[in-house]
C-alpha cells in the first residue's frame, strides 16, 4: 500500500495524514500513524466515513479501546463507541467546552492515553475542536519557569472547572454522577524524547512540589500560557473526518454550538 504523507496543521499543531483509506490499512501505515502521533500529538484524517465496525478495528490497531464510564456505548456490539450529540434546542454548554483539558487527568496511572473522534453529522461553520500543543507551550516557556516546574506535580480533579459540562450531560442522559476523583501527575512529561506540558486547565486545582508562595501564580501562569493563540489550532470538521490525539501532549476543548445538530462518535484508547 502507499506510504502516508503528512501536512502539519496551523501553528505546527498536529498533522493531516494524507493518502490513506482506513477501510483497508496495513501495519506499516499504522506504524507511520503512531510515529506521526508521537511527533505532533494529534492527527487529522479527512473524510473517512467509517462504519462502526471499521472504526472500532482502526481504534484497536492504535491500542486497547476502553469503556468510558460516563457515556453510554453505541450498542452492545460497539460498547467502545460513545455518541456525543448536540441537539438544536440544547441551551447548556457543550460537553467539554469552555476549558482546555486533557481527558481523564483525574485518574491515576491507568488513565487512557488517546482520544479519537469521528464526525457523523457536522454543522457548517460551527463545532470546531480547539487544540493546544503541550510540546510547543513547553518549548516557549521562559527558562526561569521551566526551572521552577521541573519537579512540579499537579493535583487534577473531576470536580475541577469543567465538571459543570459533565454534570449537565450526565443529567441529560440519566446517568447518576459518581463521586469526585482526584489524581496527581507530573506537570512536565516526556513523549518520544520531547518535553510537554500536562496542565489540563479544566481539571487542575493545585500545583505541588514548588515554592508554596508561588503555587497559585504558577498554576495561573501555565493555564494562561497554554491558552495563548500561538499554541492553538481550531480544527474545522467535515463529515467523516477522524481526529486522534495523545492526551499527554495535546489539550483540547469543544467550541460552542448553537441552534443546530452535531453528532460525533468517540473512542477512548489506552
Question: Dihedrals φ, ψ of 16, to 5°?
Answer: -80, 130
Q: What is the CATH number of the domain that holds 56?
A: 3.60.130.10
What's residue 89's pLDDT?
A: 77
Per-residue pLDDT of the chain (270 residues; tens, 9 = 90+): 667 899 999 999 999 999 899 999 999 999 999 999 999 999 999 999 999 999 999 999 999 999 876 677 888 899 999 998 888 877 655 554 578 999 989 999 888 999 999 999 998 888 899 999 999 999 999 999 999 999 999 999 988 888 765 555 455 555 555 578 899 999 999 999 999 999 999 999 999 999 999 999 999 999 999 999 999 999 999 999 999 999 999 999 988 888 888 899 999 999
Cell representation of residue 193: 524524547
Residue 268 to residues 43, 225, 236, 241: CA-CA distances in angstroms?
15, 27, 21, 16
Q: Which residues of 144-183 are buried (b: 16+ CB within 10 A; e: fewer)?
A: eeeebbeebbbbbbbbbbbbbbbebbbeeeeeeeeeeebb
pLDDT of res. 168: 52
Predicted local distance difference test score (pLDDT) of residue 93: 53
The number of folded domains in the chain is 1
What's the confidence (pLDDT) of residue 189?
A: 97
Q: What is the structure's pLDDT at 15?
A: 97
Q: Which domain holds residue 22?
A: 5-269
**pLDDT on residue 245:** 98
Cα angle value 244/249/250 (rounded, 5°): 55
Q: What is the pLDDT of residue 1?
A: 60
Amino acid at each position: 500500500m502507499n506510504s502516508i504523507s503528512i501536512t502539519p496543521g496551523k501553528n505546527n499543531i498536529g498533522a493531516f495524514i494524507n493518502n490513506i483509506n482506513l477501510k483497508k490499512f496495513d501495519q506499516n501505515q499504522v506504524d507511520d500513524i503512531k510515529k506521526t502521533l508521537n511527533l505532533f500529538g494529534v492527527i487529522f484524517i479527512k473524510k473517512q466515513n467509517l462504519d462502526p465496525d471499521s472504526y472500532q478495528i482502526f481504534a484497536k490497531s492504535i491500542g486497547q479501546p476502553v469503556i468510558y464510564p460516563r457515556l453510554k456505548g453505541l450498542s452492545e456490539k460497539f460498547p467502545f463507541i460513545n455518541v456525543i450529540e448536540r441537539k438544536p434546542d440544547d441551551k447548556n454548554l457543550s460537553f467539554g467546552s469552555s476549558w482546555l483539558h486533557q481527558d481523564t487527568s483525574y485518574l491515576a496511572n491507568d488513565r487512557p492515553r488517546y482520544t479519537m473522534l469521528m464526525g457523523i453529522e457536522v454543522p457548517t461553520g460551527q463545532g470546531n475542536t480547539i487544540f493546544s500543543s503541550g510540546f510547543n507551550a513547553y518549548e516557549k516557556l521562559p527558562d526561569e519557569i521551566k526551572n521552577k516546574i521541573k519537579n512540579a506535580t499537579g493535583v487534577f480533579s473531576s470536580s475541577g472547572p469543567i465538571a459543570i459540562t459533565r454534570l449537565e450531560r450526565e443529567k441529560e442522559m440519566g446517568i447518576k454522577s459518581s463521586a469526585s476523583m482526584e489524581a496527581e501527575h507530573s506537570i512536565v512529561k516526556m513523549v518520544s524524547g520531547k518535553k510537554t506540558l500536562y496542565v489540563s486547565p479544566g481539571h487542575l486545582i493545585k500545583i505541588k512540589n514548588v515554592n508554596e508562595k508561588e503555587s497559585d501564580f504558577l498554576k495561573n501562569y501555565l493555564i494562561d500560557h497554554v491558552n495563548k493563540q500561538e499554541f492553538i489550532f481550531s480544527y474545522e470538521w467535515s463529515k467523516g473526518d477522524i481526529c486522534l490525539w495523545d492526551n499527554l501532549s495535546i489539550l483540547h476543548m469543544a467550541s460552542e454550538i448553537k441552534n443546530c445538530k452535531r453528532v460525533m462518535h468517540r473512542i477512548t484508547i489506552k
